[in-house]
Structure 1
């Protein structure tokens, strides 16, 4: 569990690094420019790491399902070789899959004005800058997005449906609490990530106004990764005790 969580954290660091430094530089700069190559490099790495994050959430859901539903067989099934294979799969899938839409969109004719009304090189504003409307590229991109996001989300839901059934069969109340506590943080992260991403790219009315697109993108690209370490650290007893002390102190000051 901790090997997968460590890799997931590293993916998130890379995911945030692809956009936040450039975004902060644009806030401080007057030019706010980015080259064609840099823009598409950001586009590729941002979405590749984003897909990798989705795959890691699936792998972590599978790991928790295996640990709770088949606890006695877990050491035999989750071998070092399988764990290594899952880690490699989680890192490589996004980079392989997202290569196709990046190549297709980069081949579109761009004749200006080359001004992206966004703080990242998002595919929708990029395709809006194209001189010709390529329906094939748009179809490939939107279909790939929907299939992968819905498939990974359904896999996570099925894994947790099995976990809930296994937990409900447990005779011990302490065992149930421990199992739910193990899964609660991961479910919270899944809800934050997939909630915003699916509203942006999968929902039927995904052609949102530009301002709404920026807000949703900011949520899943900056706010969600910012919240994830806090969510996972809430499983730590010392962290919980420290937060309780903070809340008690603030309540005491409020009463004074």
Structure 2
């Protein structure tokens, strides 16, 4: 029986070795999502544009919500909220799809030559594409309301890296569990809904009593969302010590998820 490496080096080696296949698969998946629609891939731009317009109208205009007490801007709440939702949507899309990645591709399981471990990368690539389109919409809106974006935006990939690693680790674990436990997909749907309200998406972390704020940082989304807002909207540099800590933790989670997937993939064909 074929043995699959769980060495941490194999995690990066597999990504590099199959980069061409991942790129083609991501492109096919993105285009396939809009195949047959009148506007096609342009929906990936119109959807976030419409949502941002709705957030601005509802929260800024009708509810007169303000992210900070001193704010007088109607657009601030919508832009800060949308910045957090962009990250959460990438994370939740990957998690919700993860349990069905292997189950939805039984033909790949039967082909020994197909690298099953790249399926979560393909899912992440698709989610990041739509996240990038949302970011473009956000930047256009920010430029219209506030002018030239902050130079700290160049740090965005760096603050997103720990979340990407966390997402991949959890996706590998769920992709494997989804083969053996069919209820996982239902549980994850509920979990991501609850997680959205346990993350500082709709509210600033400062609304919590100071003694409880460290508990919120157990959630890896908290640092990613707060740091993304820092570099995008507020123009400040995130806490480097926290960034390094989350980066290390994310790398560990990614390797654990990858190792679990590699160890259990030998049983996929028997179950399917």
Give the TM-score category using the shorter length: 0.3 to 0.5
TM-score (norm 1): 0.33
Higher RCO, 1 or 2 (CA under 8 Å, sep at least 6)?
A: 2
